[in-house]
Amino acid sequence: MKNFYKNKKVLITGHTGFKGSWLTQVLLNWEAEVVGVSLAPNTEPNLFEILGLKAKIKNYFSDIRNLEAMKKIFIDEKPEIVFHLAAQPIVRLSYDDPLGTLSTNIMGTANILEVCKEATSVKSVVIITTDKVYENKEWHYAYRENDPLGGHDPYSSSKAAADIVTNSYIQSFFNPEDFGTKHNALVAIARAGNVIGGGDWAEYRLIPDVIKAIYHTDTHVEIRNPEAVRPWQHVLEPLSGYLMLAEELYNKKKELSGAWNFGPNNDSFVSVRVLAEGAKEILGKGEYKINPDTTKHEANLLKLDINKAIAVLGWKPLLSFKETLDLTFNWYKNYYENGEDIVEYTNKQINSFLK
Ligand X SMILES: NC(=O)c1ccc[n+]([C@@H]2O[C@H](COP(=O)([O-])OP(=O)(O)OC[C@H]3O[C@@H](n4cnc5c(N)ncnc54)[C@H](O)[C@@H]3O)[C@@H](O)[C@H]2O)c1
Binding site for ligand X (CB under 6 A): 14-20, 38-39, 63-65, 85-89, 104, 108, 128, 130, 192, 194-195, 202
- Please give the torsion angle defined by the CA atoms of residues 235, 80, 101 and 145, in that order, rounded to the nearest 10 degrees: -60
Least Å distance, CB 49 to ligand X, is 12
Structural contact between residues 204 and 153, judged by C-beta atoms closer than 8 angstroms:
no
Q: How far apart are CA 301 and CA 229, in angstroms?
A: 5
DSSP helix/strand/coil, 95: helix
Least Å distance, CB 3 to ligand X, is 27
- C-beta of 65 vs 152, nearer to ligand X: 65
- C-beta of 9 vs 65, nearer to ligand X: 65
Question: DSSP per residue over 232-264, as a string?
Answer: EEETHHHHHHHHHHHHHHHTT-GGG-EEEEE--
Taking phi over 0 as left and psi of -120 to 50 as alpha, with beta for the rest, 186 belongs to: beta
Residue type, 232: W
Least Å distance, CB 47 to ligand X, is 8
- C-beta of 88 vs 349, nearer to ligand X: 88
- C-beta of 176 vs 353, nearer to ligand X: 353
- C-beta of 108 vs 241, nearer to ligand X: 108
Phi first, then psi: what are they for 40, rounded to 5°? Answer: -65, 155
- C-beta of 102 vs 176, nearer to ligand X: 102
Least Å distance, CB 48 to ligand X, is 7
Q: In angstroms, how far is CA 63 from the centroid of its own chain?
A: 18
Least Å distance, CB 102 to ligand X, is 11
DSSP helix/strand/coil, 328: helix
Chain residue at closest Cβ approach to ligand X:
17
b/e 319-349 (16+ beta carbons within 10 angstroms → b): bebeebbbbbbbbbbbbeeeeeebeebbbeb
Question: DSSP per residue over 98-113, as a string?
Answer: HHHHHIIIIIHHHHHH
- C-beta of 65 vs 78, nearer to ligand X: 65
- C-beta of 176 vs 211, nearer to ligand X: 211
Q: Return the closest-CA partner of residue 312 out of 232, 255, 242.
A: 255
Structural contact between residues 109 and 84, judged by C-beta atoms closer than 8 angstroms:
yes
